[in-house]
Structure 1
Amino acid sequence: MTASSSSNAQQARQALADRLAELCRDAGLSGRDLAARCGWHPSKSSRIMNARTPPSADDIQAWCRACGAQDQASDLVASLRSVEGMWIAWRRMERTGLRQAQEARAPLFERTRRFRSYSSWLVPGLIQTYGYTEAVLRAVQRRRVEVDDVAEAVAARMERQRVLYEGDRRFAFLVEESVLRNGTGGPDVQIGQLGHLLTVGTLPSVSLGVVPMRTDRSRMPVEGFWIFDSAQVNVELVSGYLTLTQPSEVAEYADTFAELAESAVYGADARTLITGAMNSLG
């Protein structure tokens, strides 16, 4: 994870651990005392209180019983669920295949009215063609998913794209120029995708910016991310999927988006970069 993602998730884990440690102290128990009451190895309570080992929901229930604080168990379990939702490893999210992971995000896209997306790797999913999506998800499936439900996952992503044309929504997409030239899916797929970007860029609800490759950049590329209204940021990293809801974290990504947007070109200049990439493919 990046420093931002790891610090955010770790802070949340530490806050939960601190609350459990406080319950233990308020009950006049040592960590060893609590472990004995719960029937655990003595080191387990220490690992939980120091945020080295995350507790399970059952662990929290047992902890609260041992401390005589059963009334706080439900709130602490809810905090645990929130912490777990911040960071989800791909192997967990995709253990049943890719379709479910695609469908699970649909409600978030449907309730959002302002989308901001920055990508340094791939064309964002909302503006991908069928062939490009198929190439991307097939590569993902081959690398890390045993279940082959790529066709169903592609269909789910295509269905999600209807938000581009429904309701009063605004979309701002930023892509690095290198995204236009990464060869995803081969020349035919790439040419079709670039042509689709030219079309999508004309939609009145869409702003499409390309950050040009240059030697004098003041803002370097970062991990790709989505901002949903001002409520949530999602970041796709090599090992997993990060959800940020802390206002300070959301604001940090919004500021980064604004800085990258200042470096991008739009309109005719963006179309020139896109058509240049198409021409390089023949």
Structure 2
Amino acid sequence: MSTDFQQARVALGARLRELRAETTGRDLAARLGWSQSKVSKLETGRQTATPTDLDEWAGATGHPEAAEELRARLQGLESRSRSWRRQLRAGHRPVQDMLTVEYERSTHLRAWEGAMVVGLLQTADYARHVFNRYAELHQSVRDIEDAVRARMRRQEILYQPGRQFDIVMWEAALHAGVCPPQVLAAQLDRLAGVIGLDTVRLGIVPLGAPLGIPPANGFWMYDERLVIAEDWHAELWLDDADSIAVYRRAWETLRQSAAYGPAAHRLIARAHAHLDLR
């Protein structure tokens, strides 16, 4: 869980405890029909309140006027951390459509990905296997074909003049067996072809290259206004200047270790040579 997210949750908990000042946690739990442990977890930031929880808390502590304030705090907290469980309730297609809006609003996009080929450069077959893997992990709606079509349509932005895509990947992503070897071979061919696009600058960090920082989670920077970073449980949507500056420095540091042009082609060819296509 992100430090910023947890700090915001702790701050919300402190506000809840402040509203409860005139009653004990035990009495409040009894009044609400909750367990005392739930009251404790909400106040210490170990559990995220729901909007209904906040409304009931405000009423039960005698401060119904505070409900709107509490909901605003929760909305601010959730705007930063968007859990996959909530995002995928309607399937993967709506998530893809929401991302497309951010791509279209941006002219300069930077990315780091160490685990797999970035979505914007995926083939349809590769994307299909990736979506299936995540649908299994999150036990989400299996709208795989709709999600693949949405991702493929978004790739049209690669050919629009006036945009720049600076993408840095770890060489490990070229070897990740998230799909059959034949599908990965076609995906590697796609990457090799992308290197020649005017709008794309693709760098690959070789295995064993000196690194300024350890490779971590994948992320996208949309101009200088937004960072979306992925984790297993959630996406972080960060729009404050300090967080954006940290991710900018992380991207610049990783970029310095990347190979470009013919050197990147050789890394792709090396990954292709390791495939067992029999």
* TM-score (ref. length: structure 2): 0.85
- Cα 1:266–1:19 shift into 2, 3 Å: same
Gaps of 5+ in 1: none
Q: Distance in 2 between matches of 1:167 and 1:75?
A: 44
- Cα 1:65–1:145 shift into 2, 3 Å: closer
* 8 Å contact kept, 1:95–1:145: no
Shift of the alpha carbon at 1:68?
5.4
* 8 Å contact kept, 2:211–2:254: no
Residue deviations 1:189-248 (CA, integer Å, cap 9, x gap):
222222222222222222110001126444332121222222332222233333333432
Q: Distance in 1 between matches of 2:149 and 2:94?
A: 11
Counting only pairs closer than 5 Å after superposition, residues 47-196 of structure 1 correspond to structure 2 as 47-66=41-60, 69-145=63-139, 147-166=141-160, 168-196=162-190
Shift of the alpha carbon at 1:169?
2.3
1:247 equivalent to 2:238? Answer: no
Shift of the alpha carbon at 1:43?
5.3
Amino acid at match of 2:7: Q
Q: Return the match for 1:16 from 12, 30, 39.
A: 12
Give the aligned partner of residue 227 of structure 1: 221
* Percent identical residues: 36
Q: Distance in 2 between matches of 1:261 and 1:236?
A: 19
Report which stretch shifted further, 172-181 or 130-139: 130-139
CA RMSD of aligned residues (A): 2.7
Amino acid at match of 1:207: R
Report which stretch shifted further, 31-40 or 60-69: 31-40
Q: Distance in 2 between matches of 1:75 and 1:113?
A: 36
Q: What SS does the corresponding residue of 2:256 show, helix, strand or coil?
A: helix
Residue deviations 1:36-70 (CA, integer Å, cap 9, x gap):
66565555444322223332212322333455544
Report which stretch shifted further, 246-255 or 37-46: 37-46
* TM-score (ref. length: structure 1): 0.84
* 8 Å contact kept, 1:94–1:145: no
Q: Distance in 1 between matches of 2:32 and 2:238?
A: 33
Q: What SS does the corresponding residue of 1:95 show, helix, strand or coil?
A: helix
1:262 equivalent to 2:256? Answer: yes
Q: What SS does the corresponding residue of 1:235 show, helix, strand or coil?
A: strand
Report which stretch shifted further, 244-253 or 204-213: 244-253
- Cα 1:154–1:43 shift into 2, 3 Å: closer
Q: Distance in 2 between matches of 1:97 and 1:249?
A: 29
Give the aligned partner of residue 191 of structure 2: 197
Q: Distance in 1 between matches of 2:56 and 2:132?
A: 44
Q: Distance in 1 between matches of 2:121 and 2:211?
A: 26
* 8 Å contact kept, 1:97–1:145: no
Report which stretch shifted further, 37-46 or 99-108: 37-46
Q: Distance in 2 between matches of 1:91 and 1:42?
A: 26
Gaps of 5+ in 2: none
Q: Distance in 1 between matches of 2:227 and 2:70?
A: 24
Q: Distance in 1 between matches of 2:32 and 2:215?
A: 49
* 8 Å contact kept, 1:97–1:147: yes
* 8 Å contact kept, 1:23–1:69: yes
